[in-house]
Amino acid sequence: MSQQIYDRVALIGLGLIASSMGHAMKKWNLAGSVVGHARSEETRKAALEVGFCDEVFDTAAEAVKDADLVVLAVPVLAMGPIAAEIRDHLKPGATVTDVGSVKQAVIEAVAPHIPEGVDFVPGHPLAGTEHSGPRAGFATLFRNRFCLLVPGHARPVAVERLTRLWQGMGANVEQMDAAHHDRVLAVTSHTPHLIAYTMVGVADHLAQVTESEIIKYSAAGFRDFTRIAASDPTMWRDVFLTNKEATLDILGRFMEELFVLQRAIRMEDGKTLHDYFTRTRAIRRGIIEAGQDTAAPDFGRVKAQEE
């Protein structure tokens, strides 16, 4: 059984990431108690029914009282207002962190509201599914996934304690500055999601392809776009609005690469296509070797393996 790291943890926002944290902290005894807040009464009730929170509160201010760790797990554009709401209710010596996919915008919105004597350690667990809500979480979501922390001006002891929490939940923890984080994630997550949303949108607008055909033949690659494009729309809206520069830069580079492939297809340049696909195939092998996915057939889908 793991050693308890925090006496009281407050989860502000009770979706996939927060619920998974709650399950993990309880499974491995990492926190004495886990409390939470969500705007929706339905979500608050679900958190208690599922059992990853010991108590839930109607307001964020109530939830953070006496908490040693406060986790902001709300959409990026909501973090500033939440930070302003809780600032006068934070326990001296507490740590505030977040799980947002963007870091510079979160720091700009939250840091001004962090009172003296409270540490702010922005974070980002690189884990998730296409599902959302309090019933979507599970304790092993973070196992062998990376969690990036941006220590900033936080005390080393606070960063070390938060690191131990994430490690206790199964994550590999690394530190990164905010600007570099946002650029890396624009490549590895944000732009791929935008492309997936676009591809699904294109299929939706093609009159010559019927809806039944899109569904019936989706195993030919389109299915994986739809899985990514099924992610929480509010979260991704906020990501693109708050990581605009990095995403637009990477999207521009993507368009340049697309033009190269477009020309190769038009000119029937098989060598360019083969060489390009060979290089990109190596990236997939690297991801598998790093333990960030499985080489099992059908992209490791449990359903496919069981069938």
pLDDT in tens, 130-173: 788 999 999 999 999 999 999 989 999 999 999 999 999 999 99
pLDDT, tens only, 7-66: 999 999 999 999 999 999 999 999 999 999 999 999 999 999 999 999 999 999 999 999
Q: Catalogue all structural domains in the chain, each as residue range(s) with its CATH number.
A: 6-176 (3.40.50.720), 180-293 (1.10.3660.10)
pLDDT, tens only, 209-260: 566 666 666 665 777 777 777 777 888 888 888 888 888 888 888 889 888 9
Q: Is the pLDDT of residue 305 over 50?
A: no
Q: From the CB of residue 260, how many other CB atoms can be counted at a distance below 10 Å?
A: 13
Q: Which residue has the higher pLDDT, 302 or 164?
A: 164
Q: Which residue has the higher pLDDT, 208 or 275?
A: 275
C-alpha span between 75 and 99 (Å, rounded): 9
Q: What is the pLDDT of residue 93?
A: 97
Which of 36-40, 107-111, 112-116, 256-260 comes out lowest in average pLDDT? 256-260
Joined tokens for residue 67? 């908490």
Confidence of residue 303 (pLDDT cuts 50, 70, 90): very low
